[in-house]
Structure 1
Amino acid sequence: MQSLKPERAHWRPWWLMKCFVIVLLLSLWWCTVKYSCRNRGVTFSCKTQMLYDTPNIMRPLRIDVLTMTPWFAPIVWNGTYNSDILNAQFHQKDVHVGLTVFAIRKYAVFVQTFIETAEKFFMVGQKVTYYIFTDRINDIPAFTLSDGRKLIVLEVPSYTRWQDVSMRRMEMIRDQSRQRFIREVDYLVCVDVDMRFSDEVGVEILSGIFGTLHPGFYSASREQFTYERRPQSTAYIPTDEGDFYYAGGFFGGTVEEVYRLTNFCHNAMMVDKEKQIEAIWHDESYLNKYFLYEKPTKILSPEYLWDNNFQTPGFLKRKRFVAVPKNHNAIRYRRELMGVSVASGKFHR
């Protein structure tokens, strides 16, 4: 029988040569694609090595507070996350965050402190656009912002009552979400302007849709929550329902989810307005109704919304976003109380 060994010996070098040529062609193709993408502004990045302690499932990060809801939404507390890991993940996604505030009438005086403290503590190192809704464009000062950050002033109508300002912001956020936010940012964070940042607030808060525990009700029972209790209102929540009481001064999520939330709240308000009903805590009441049936995907602890008039509990390790002391009557109704400054708590009721 004729041996096949000479043929194999003759065939092997050609096979190796073909493999070499294929690899060479693939390499040349990859270099061409990479060069072309770079010319079009597309970048390729390697994941840098990051060193951190191995998570230990037998050693929870916090045992003094609730860190997970029954529907598996995390509750964000100091010590429950790694900022370096989260920042790396969001940088890879090239995330852009929008921060909205309403500076209507005399509330424009709070803008400077708000922006200056946000530059120090809010989403440091991330792309941020500040959206200032105001009826006093000329009262908004100019700011020198960090790289990747900008400020846009949106002129809106003034309202006689502060309650109308509070409720109409849901309509304005909804409309701008559809008209411009969806094209300009990935996430929206909606907060009150009469506040100051005093510690880090970063990407750990971002999620599909998030709410914040109210600093006055984090340990209260659902019967004590100041929900709207009148069945005639679309914000009505029965006494045997409810998970948490959420503050109206800090919520957010993706633009699409914030649109859904604000659209619900505004439409519910309009239904109640036809009935001549005004929910007990205005837009906050409708926000709580929405979150009862559309559960938030993440919840922020009272670290993210605090009033220093409250006694500080032992579990509160950081105060990240704090109310600015003010005279509510002078700010809301333009009348001074005979020159006396009353530092009433923002969240006292």
Structure 2
Amino acid sequence: MTLSPWLAPIVWDGTYNLDILNEQFHQRGVRIGLTTFVIRKYKIFIQNFLQSAEKFFMTGHKVSYYVFTDDINAIPNINLREGRSLEVLKVTGYKRWQDITMRRMQLIRDLISERVINEVDYIVCVDVDFEFRDSVGVEILSDIFGVLHSDYFEKKRQAFTYERRDISAGYIPNDEGDFYYIGGFFGGTVKEVYKLTNHCHNAMMQDKAINIEALWHDESYVNRYFLYHKPTKILSPEYTWNYFSGNPAVVKRKRVVHVPKQYSEVRD
């Protein structure tokens, strides 16, 4: 598919002209923010993340990196291209990885409201255990975008691991759902990302008040949000490839890939 039922473009290689898009975004002087989280043992991924982003992410455009971490000394000193900056933001490291991943929504929301709204035009939120392997440019930008999960893009709705308990604020009924989006990569204008992160944070707090957590934590709430607030652009699994799943013959360019890891070692 290259177009969603609500006419949002689904971005695959060959569906756009990057030269034209780059010229349009340069004329507007667009500034782009990239957030990631480096908490506890996930610090082993940050150097590769930043180095690969410098090589492939928004080449030729103004980029501000916002790195949230519980260990400032773990952030390497990377030589940045002209027009790019890196800011390290100290946060608390939680013991449970579930708490870490869910608190991201609050932290991104607060960063936007306190300062980023005056610093960048678009904000892209990516997990640190991804690696950029090919060009990721302004073709991804839109009011609000989500990324198709490589595990599910060829599967039917019944196989999607939505939150199915109707008491949860992340609940999606069995007969609803368009696509299954990954929770570790989303973005858009600062205004729209604020709406998404604020909604997801409030939904988490609503569930926490009754002592439950959605099945896949922040990813479950992202999928709920995109069901009722349709993304204006959708990125294909080129942007979230996992070599352990999906059909590599369909996805010819693997632009962003999961770094292989032992979850038991980084999440304890």
User: Which TM-score applies when normalising by structure 1?
Assistant: 0.76
Find the residue that maps to 1:129 and give its secondary structure. Answer: strand
Give 2:102's match in structure 1, choosing from 160, 167, 173.
Answer: 167
Q: Identify unmatched segments of 5+ residues in structure 1.
A: 1-65, 334-349
Give 2:154's match in structure 1, choosing from 219, 229, 232.
Answer: 219
Q: 1:28: which partner in 2?
A: none
Q: 2:173: which partner in 1?
A: 238
Find the residue that maps to 1:188 and give its secondary structure. Answer: strand
Which amino acid counterpart does residue 90 of structure 2 have in structure 1?
Answer: E
Structure 1 residue 311: Cα displacement: 5.3
Give 2:36's match in structure 1, choosing from 101, 105, 116.
Answer: 101
Q: Does 1:203 align with 2:138?
A: yes
| Percent of residue pairs identical | 63
Structure 1 residue 180: Cα displacement: 1.1
Bigger CA radius of gyration: 1
If each structure's strand is expressed as a fraction of its own residues, which one has the higher value? 2
After superposition, the Cα gap between the structure-2 partners of 1:290 and 1:130, relative to the gap in structure 1 and judged at 3 Å, is same
Alpha-carbon distance in 2 for matches of 1:155, 1:238: 38
Q: 2:253: which partner in 1?
A: 318
Runs of 4+ deviating beyond 4 Å: none
If asked which structure has higher relative contact order (CA below 8 Å, sep 6+), I would say 2
Write the mapping of 1:1-349 to structure 2, written as runs, cut at 5 A: 66-310=1-245, 312-333=247-268
Structure 1 residue 314: Cα displacement: 2.1
Alpha-carbon distance in 1 for matches of 2:151, 2:250: 15
Deviations 1:77-104 (A, max 9, x none): 0000001000000000000000000000
Find the residue that maps to 2:54 and give its secondary structure. Answer: helix
Which amino acid counterpart does residue 158 of structure 1 have in structure 2?
Answer: G
Which amino acid counterpart does residue 316 of structure 1 have in structure 2?
Answer: V
Q: Is the 8 A contact 2:165 2:171 kept in 1?
A: yes
Aligned length: 268
Alpha-carbon distance in 2 for matches of 1:260, 1:310: 31
Deviations 1:207-243 (A, max 9, x none): 0000000000001111111000001101100110000
Structure 1 residue 155: Cα displacement: 0.5
Q: Identify unmatched segments of 5+ residues in structure 2.
A: none
Alpha-carbon distance in 1 for matches of 2:171, 2:39: 28
After superposition, the Cα gap between the structure-2 partners of 1:264 and 1:146, relative to the gap in structure 1 and judged at 3 Å, is same
